[in-house]
C-alpha cells in the first residue's frame, strides 16, 4: 500500500457526513455493526459476501466500544478487503502496519485538532487521563497533529 494521508481521509469523511461518531459513520458507509461476546477480543472487521461488518465485544465499556468501532472502521476504510484475524492466524504476513494505520485512523477521528489545541499545555499522560485513551494512542495522535 502506498503512503496514505489518514488524517485527510478522516477529515473528508467527517466533513461529508457531518459527524465524527464512528457508529454514525459506519451507518452512512453501510457497514453493519454487531455486538457479540468475543471473549478477550475487543473487536474485528470482516467482509463476508462483500458485506462490510464490524464486530464489537458486548462486554466493553462505552468509551472502549467507541474506540474499537473507530479502529475497525479504519480497517473498513483503509483495508476493505483484508482480514487481519485471518492474516494473523493463517499466514506469515505481518499485520502491524495495518493495525497502526487503523489506530491512526481511530485517534484522528476521535481526537480532533481542536481538542489538542485547547489542551496544548497538557502532557501526553494528562491528555490520556482527560480523554480516556491509552497514552500510546495519544502519542500516535500527536504525531499527525498539524
pLDDT, residue 3, reads 46
pLDDT, residue 130, reads 94
7 touches 35 (CB < 8 A): no
pTM (2 decimals)? 0.88
pLDDT, residue 126, reads 95
* Annotated domain spans of the chain: 6-110
| List of residues 6+ apart from 145 with CB closer than 8 A | 113, 116
Mean pLDDT of 85-106: 76
CATH architecture of the domain covering 6-110 = Orthogonal Bundle (1.10)
pLDDT at 85 over 80: no
pLDDT, residue 18, reads 97
pLDDT, residue 84, reads 64
pLDDT, residue 1, reads 39
pLDDT, residue 20, reads 96
pLDDT, residue 91, reads 59
Write out the chain in H/E/C secondary structure: CCCCCHHHHHHHHHHHHCCCCHHHHHHHCCCEEEEECCCCCCEEEECHHHCCEEEEECCCCHHHHHHHHHHHHHHHHHCCCCCHHHHHHHCCCCCHHHHHHHHHHHHHHHCCHHHHHHCCCCCHHHHHHHHCCCHHHHHHHHHCCC
HSE-CB at 43 with a 13 A cutoff on CA atoms is: 29
pLDDT at 38 over 70: yes
Amino acid at each position: 500500500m502506498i503512503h496514505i494521508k489518514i488524517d485527510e481521509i478522516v477529515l473528508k469523511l467527517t466533513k461529508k457526513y457531518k459527524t465524527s461518531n464512528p457508529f454514525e459513520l459506519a451507518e452512512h458507509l453501510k457497514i453493519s455493526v454487531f455486538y457479540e461476546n468475543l471473549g478477550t477480543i475487543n473487536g474485528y472487521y470482516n467482509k463476508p459476501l462483500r458485506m462490510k461488518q464490524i464486530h464489537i465485544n458486548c462486554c466493553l465499556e462505552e468509551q472502549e466500544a467507541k474506540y474499537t468501532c473507530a479502529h475497525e472502521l479504519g480497517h473498513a476504510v483503509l483495508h476493505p478487503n483484508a482480514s487481519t484475524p485471518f492474516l494473523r492466524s493463517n499466514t506469515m504476513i505481518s499485520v502491524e502496519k495495518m493495525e497502526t494505520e487503523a489506530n491512526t485512523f481511530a485517534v484522528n477521528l476521535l481526537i480532533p485538532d481542536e481538542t489538542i489545541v485547547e489542551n496544548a499545555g497538557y502532557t501526553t499522560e494528562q491528555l490520556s487521563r482527560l480523554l480516556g485513551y491509552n497514552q500510546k494512542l495519544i502519542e500516535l495522535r500527536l504525531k499527525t497533529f498539524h
